[in-house]
Chain A
């Protein structure tokens, strides 16, 4: 276990749902029986459509969502943290080590605080620094690493563009010196020219500060470019997982194939080669039994059509896991 930072073991997250106060209580199966290991220093990508449970899984790993069953272990240098069984003191410690970068840099920053205060807030809340001087030093240090100028620190967020704001969010997440970062759609709201800049910055910071990322995105080309390992999620399940090069070159699951073919090609002569998926993602209230993808699968086998094949990953190549329904 030495080189893993995070182990996610059989994690499920359910939410209670009741349409109105007299109707029956139901369960939303947001995340089902997920097993992943995130290696130290890796850039782990999580892709999928909206409603596939990417964000819920990311939040569960951060301890921001209750885990219904299974456990998440954070392997720190000296000790392991078990997220499902943690006291307040441990949770405080864990918060310093695992941080989140949000999607929308316009909503994530308080308009009434200066950039300096925004970045310094985690240090003050977590009582990491003891004097104002020390805080200022840490803030200036991390701001420089995120390519913010010192004079930016005195201004308010409204004075900045989307890309600069995202750099402020990154600085705020990194100021407590975390080891693990969940980046939830962190480039989705940015223009392409800026997106490339932020991706390069994340990569550079990873090398400099020895970070491990869980990178959540719906954009496959972005994930293919930055991530080492990718997991594809559909309706709360991981349907395929593997080293990103291998997975994108040689996708095995029909959902991954359809996703890849749906990316609009930049070449005007290659129009419409998309494997068109009929319909939309089913409701997580009552997911189809058996393979969850079978209701939209373009070429279902006879067995899986009836839902007889259970969900479960099998290893087809070293490190490349595919849901058994499509691996057959």
Chain B
């Protein structure tokens, strides 16, 4: 069976004044229809850059490697250059929900007008049809008084409502793939619970593939089917959500779990991961995590072990250096 989305050997580099930065290195991922792939990692780990490459939204100084492939519906989107083709992936087959809904709506245009505009671009329909689709979608995401909200501006809505409107807008074009970049981070927990449930319902209803980016392992546990853990531009561990959270192998994944305050176990000490995430300008050679790894083996420490994912259980892949360190560290 072919996947809805397949990312193969993707490198993303940015040319900056200080030199060439490797933001993402050798990433391979896949998403099926109706499946949620969660990407977790700290800030600067390349989660958003990966998602943005799927829509080619990275800035002009970006370069991709020659053999990288991002295959969506049997087409390599990295080869798209014409406006016509790009339109297909930007809002057509792929939609994106951003972290800060206030920043993603144009402040001086009514919400309804923004929703209609993008429908007119992507669908072959007239204005009235677009309006009724938009209002129905606003109702679907649980916005009361959808007709009234349609004629309001983004600042008139509360945070949770704005995020619902953003979801409605992203879904109204019926994308096959939804990219959700930290969609609940700016929300309060009670509103976050509402939005997570909404996203889950909608995925079930429309059977789309979803990439869900977050730094919150709790949110991942609630929504994802598959998880990829990223660190400094590389995937260090990936697999089914149950495996990753209950049986983590890589010291970074373990570290993340131990650093998380658990409300059910208040006696457990909070153990931070020592050190700081290195600057992407001096990315470590070999295992990227070795500068902070608490249990490194001698060769891993010197950077002699190449990054390479190995399947330890069916579907559960771990970086080869991390497997050894994970065993050392218990």
Q: Which residues from chain A sit less than 8 Å from chain B, CB to CB?
A: 49-50, 161-164, 191-197, 199-200, 218-222, 224-225, 245, 248, 258-269, 271-272, 274, 276-277, 280
**Closest CB of chain B to A168's CB: distance in Å?**
13
The 9 A-B pairs at the shortest CB distance, nearest first, are namely: A264-B218, A197-B272, A193-B273, A196-B270, A196-B272, A49-B188, A191-B42, A221-B261, A274-B193
Instruction: Tell me the residues in window 183-228 of chain B with beta carbons closer than 8 Å to chain A beta carbons.
Output: 188-194, 196-197, 200, 215-219, 221-222, 224
Pick the interface stretch among B158-166, B280-288, B314-322.
B158-166
Flag if A266 contacts B218 (CB, 8 Å). yes
Flag if A271 contacts B222 (CB, 8 Å). yes
What is the CA–CA distance of A193 and B159 in the complex, to the nearest angstrom?
A: 27
| A274: chain B residues within 8 A (beta carbon) | 193, 197
| A269: chain B residues within 8 A (beta carbon) | 242
**Closest CB of chain B to A266's CB: distance in Å?**
5
**Quick one: CB contact mask for B148-183 with A, threshold 8 Å, 1 for yes?**
000000000011110000000000000000000000
B82 in the interface (beta carbon within 8 A): no
Flag if B259 contacts A193 (CB, 8 Å). yes
Given A267-B221, A268-B241, A193 contacting B272 (CB threshold 8 A): yes
B263 in the interface (beta carbon within 8 A): yes
| B277: chain A residues within 8 A (beta carbon) | 161
Flag if B217 contacts A199 (CB, 8 Å). no
Flag if A225 contacts B194 (CB, 8 Å). no
B159, B222, B270 interface centre (most CB from chain A within 10 Å): B270
What is the CA–CA distance of A261 and B196 in the complex, to the nearest angstrom?
A: 14
Q: Which residues from chain B sit less than 8 Å from chain A, CB to CB?
A: 42-43, 158-161, 188-194, 196-197, 200, 215-219, 221-222, 224, 241-242, 245-246, 255-257, 259-263, 266, 270-273, 276-277
What is the CA–CA distance of A193 and B219 in the complex, to the nearest angstrom?
A: 16
Flag if A248 contacts B197 (CB, 8 Å). no
Flag if B263 contacts A224 (CB, 8 Å). yes
| B276: chain A residues within 8 A (beta carbon) | 161, 163-164, 194
Beyond the given pairs A221-B263, A276-B190, 5 more chain A to chain B contacts, judged by CB atoms under 8 angstroms and listed by A's residue number, are A192-B217, A193-B42, A193-B259, A218-B188, A218-B189
Given A192-B215, A192-B259, A263 contacting B272 (CB threshold 8 A): no
Flag if A277 contacts B190 (CB, 8 Å). yes
A-B contacts, 13 of them at CB < 8 A, read: A49-B189, A161-B276, A162-B43, A192-B215, A192-B260, A196-B261, A225-B261, A248-B263, A266-B217, A266-B221, A266-B260, A268-B221, A276-B197
Flag if A200 contacts B222 (CB, 8 Å). no
Closest to A225 in B: B261
**Closest CB of chain B to A203's CB: distance in Å?**
9
Given A221-B261, A260-B263, A265 contacting B222 (CB threshold 8 A): yes
Closest to B158 in A: A280
| B255: chain A residues within 8 A (beta carbon) | 193
B189, B215, B245, B271 interface centre (most CB from chain A within 10 Å): B189
What is the CA–CA distance of A261 and B260 in the complex, to the nearest angstrom?
A: 17
Closest to A198 in B: B272
Determine which of A164, A193, A272 lies in contact with B197 in the assembled complex, contact meaning CB atoms within 8 Å.
A272
| B217: chain A residues within 8 A (beta carbon) | 192, 266
**Closest CB of chain B to A96's CB: distance in Å?**
31
Flag if B263 contacts A268 (CB, 8 Å). no
Flag if B215 contacts A264 (CB, 8 Å). no
Given A193-B259, A196-B259, A224-B261, A264 contacting B197 (CB threshold 8 A): no
**Closest CB of chain B to A183's CB: distance in Å?**
15
Closest to A200 in B: B270
| B270: chain A residues within 8 A (beta carbon) | 196, 199-200, 225
Flag if B272 contacts A50 (CB, 8 Å). no
**Closest CB of chain A to B228's CB: distance in Å?**
15
What is the CA–CA distance of A269 and B194 in the complex, to the nearest angstrom?
A: 19
B191, B221, B272 interface centre (most CB from chain A within 10 Å): B272
What is the CA–CA distance of A264 and B193 in the complex, to the nearest angstrom?
A: 8
Closest to A277 in B: B190
**Closest CB of chain B to A149's CB: distance in Å?**
12
Closest to B276 in A: A161
B160, B194, B219, B256 interface centre (most CB from chain A within 10 Å): B194
What is the CA–CA distance of A272 and B160 in the complex, to the nearest angstrom?
A: 18
What is the CA–CA distance of A272 and B199 in the complex, to the nearest angstrom?
A: 12
**Closest CB of chain A to B135's CB: distance in Å?**
20
Flag if A266 contacts B262 (CB, 8 Å). yes
| A224: chain B residues within 8 A (beta carbon) | 261, 263, 266
Flag if A193 contacts B222 (CB, 8 Å). no
Flag if A264 contacts B219 (CB, 8 Å). yes
**Closest CB of chain B to A141's CB: distance in Å?**
23
